[in-house]
Amino acid sequence: MVKQLSKKNERVEEVFNLFISHVQNFLKEANLNHEEYTNFVDWADRLGRAGELPLYADVFLESHVLRAMYTDKPGTQPSLLGPYFVEGTPLIEAKPGQPLVLTQRPNEAGDVMYFSGNVSNTNGEPLEKVRVEMWQNDASGKYSSFDSDAPKYNFRGHFYTDENGDFEVKTIVPLPYSIPTDGPTGEFLDYTDQHPMRPAHLHLMFEAEGHETLITQVFFEGDEWLETDVADGVRLDLMTKLEEKDGHKVSSLDFVMRTI
């Protein structure tokens, strides 16, 4: 039996040729000697074996891709999906007259926060029944399912906007945190004298029929790491204030989805 060759993909060929061309030009411009080149290949090999390629790409590449794609487009700016997203989160439903509560343990540590927002589209129409996925770290600065003793879906869940495109969620104020530094990515940070910190943020993903999925983050004014976010994920239109109200924190931000 003759083995069939895979169908040619012109776009893959185009991107691959461009990638190789730029890497070759980079190596020529950097004027690497053979030892430096070998050390680079060894580091890249260890990056892959350690499972840190997605982490490295998230931190040092994805933000630049998103800026190039969306800076001049209408609607809310996207930000990193990040390495801490998980599938299969529980549906969060509110009791009458009460806000949604992001999945958490009883007596969860942290400053209670009510986060609210509105979802509309670039035509100015409020969007009902938008599926909103939300996740964040806890008061230890860790994400459930990743180096944490919290239940799998702690501070994770999805819900839907109401008939006016509104939502309100009870959660806690997230904390700044360090990306992992005990592997090849941490070595790179040491070599380049960069810190590993990300400012506190919420993760949100919005999905609605007829609209482009919006994956973004929400940041808080006054965070010491905003201007030097290691992942360069901060956008001015993703900033909100934390304010005191009735013994807890409140914050809000509105989101605009792009129509397809």
Q: Which amino acid is at 104?
A: Q
Radius of gyration of the chain (CA): 21
Residue 7 in this model has a pLDDT that exceeds 80: no
Q: Which amino acid is at 94?
A: A
Q: What tokens does 230 get?
A: 């290691």
**Alpha-carbon gap, residue 173 to 160, rounded angstroms:** 21
Please give the torsion angle defined by the CA atoms of residues 133, 134, 137 and 142, in that order, rounded to the nearest 10 degrees: -10
Residue 45 in this model has a pLDDT that exceeds 90: yes
What average pLDDT does the chain have? 92
pLDDT at 30: 92
Nearest partner of 206 among 162, 255, 163, judged by Cα: 255
Residue 3 in this model has a pLDDT that exceeds 80: no
Between 144 and 64, whose confidence is greater? Answer: 144
Helix (H/G/I), strand (E/B), else coil: 152: coil
Question: Which positions ≥6 away from 56 have C-beta within 8 Å?
Answer: 47, 184, 185, 188
**Alpha-carbon gap, residue 58 to 82, rounded angstroms:** 6
**Alpha-carbon gap, residue 77 to 66, rounded angstroms:** 8
Residue 4 in this model has a pLDDT that exceeds 60: no
Residue 1 in this model has a pLDDT that exceeds 80: no
**pLDDT tens across 182-221, in order?**
999 999 999 999 999 999 999 999 999 999 999 999 999 9
Residue 142 in this model has a pLDDT that exceeds 90: yes
pLDDT at 219: 98
pLDDT band at 58 (very low <50, low <70, confident <90, very high): confident
CB 112 within 8 A of CB 80: no
First to last CA, the chain: 45
**pLDDT tens across 80-133, in order?**
898 899 999 999 998 887 889 999 999 999 999 999 999 999 999 999 999 999
Q: Which amino acid is at 202?
A: L
**pLDDT tens across 71-86, in order?**
778 999 999 898 899 9
pLDDT band at 2 (very low <50, low <70, confident <90, very high): low
200 CB-side CA count, 13 A: 17
**pLDDT tens across 29-40, in order?**
999 899 999 998
- Give the bridge partners for 116, in sequence order: 168, 252
